[in-house]
Each structure stands twice: as C-alpha cells, then as structure tokens.
C-alpha cells in the first residue's frame, strides 16, 4: 500500500518556465506541481513538455513531484500522455487531472492509466532486480 503524506504546502509552477522550475528544485515544500494545463499558454505547451522531459527527480527537494495534465477533451491531452509514457512517467510521483466527467473519453483514459500503472510496476521491479544482476 502506498504511503499517504499530508501536503501542507504545494507549489504550482508553470511547466513552461525553466527559471521557476529551477527555483522550485531547492524549495522545501511538500509537493511541486508542474502545471501543463492553465498555467501554460497554448503556444508554449510543446516547449513546456520539452522542459519537463529534461528534468530529473533527484533535482527536486520536495518529497512529491506531480504533473498536472490538460483536459481529456483538449487537443493537448494525447501529447501529455505521450510525455508520461516516456521520459517523465519514469520519475514523477503523481498525475493531477483536471475535473473529470465520466464519458467515453474518460473511460479511454482510465484504461490507458491502468496500462501505464502496470508498466510502471514492471519498471520498478526491473530496477530493483538490476543491482542483483550486476553483482553477479
């Protein structure tokens, strides 16, 4: 079972601002939320994903680092899911969803999320096994 932590301070940072993300690295907050949704102008969303993909979990002092994705119905959602299924999905702690209305699109997302969770569990298991294999 996952460990549940109280979050007294959550810092929301526009994912399009390298300067603000760099400052967030050193802050002792309970959670850093990298915002891809309304914190980023439409013309900056592609660049914001590039900035997030260049981040490393170890750079953040916060115990939790999250990414807030765009709405399911938006034209940016698929690109956000691509980001999560590649680079950023390997190191973020949680995904923040905008308000979710149950419709066919929501059900597709929930199915995608279930598959992504299985992949993440497999990656975690493989990473625990790697040091043992290297020791041989």
Residues 19 and 76: beta-carbon distance below 8 Å: no
Closest residue by Cα to residue 13 from 50, 70, 52: 52
pLDDT digits (tens, 9 = 90+) for 32-74: 999 999 999 999 999 999 999 999 999 999 999 999 999 888 8
Q: What structural domains does the chain harbor?
A: 10-100 (3.20.20.60)
- Nearest 5 degrees, angle CA 79-CA 80-CA 84? 115
Q: What pLDDT is recorded for position 110?
A: 76
Q: Is 26 helix (H, G, I), strand (E, B) or coil?
A: helix
Q: Other CB atoms closer than 10 Å to residue 97's CB: what's the count?
A: 15
Indicate the pTM of the whole model. 0.73
Q: Is 12 helix (H, G, I), strand (E, B) or coil?
A: strand
């Amino acid at each position: 079972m996952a460990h549940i932590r109280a979050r007294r301070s959550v810092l929301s940072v526009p994912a399009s601002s390298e300067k603000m993300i760099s400052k967030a690295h050193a802050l002792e907050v309970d959670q850093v939320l990298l915002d891809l949704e309304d914190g980023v102008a439409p013309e900056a969303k592609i660049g914001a994903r590039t900035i997030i993909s260049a981040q490393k979990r170890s750079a953040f002092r916060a115990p939790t680092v999250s990414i807030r994705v765009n709405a399911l119905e938006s034209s940016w959602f698929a690109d956000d899911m691509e980001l999560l299924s590649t680079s950023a999905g390997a190191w973020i702690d949680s995904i923040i969803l905008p308000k979710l209305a149950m419709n066919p699109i929501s059900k597709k997302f929930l199915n995608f999320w279930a598959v992504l969770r299985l992949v993440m569990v497999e990656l975690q298991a493989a990473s625990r096994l790697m040091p043992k294999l290297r020791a041989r």
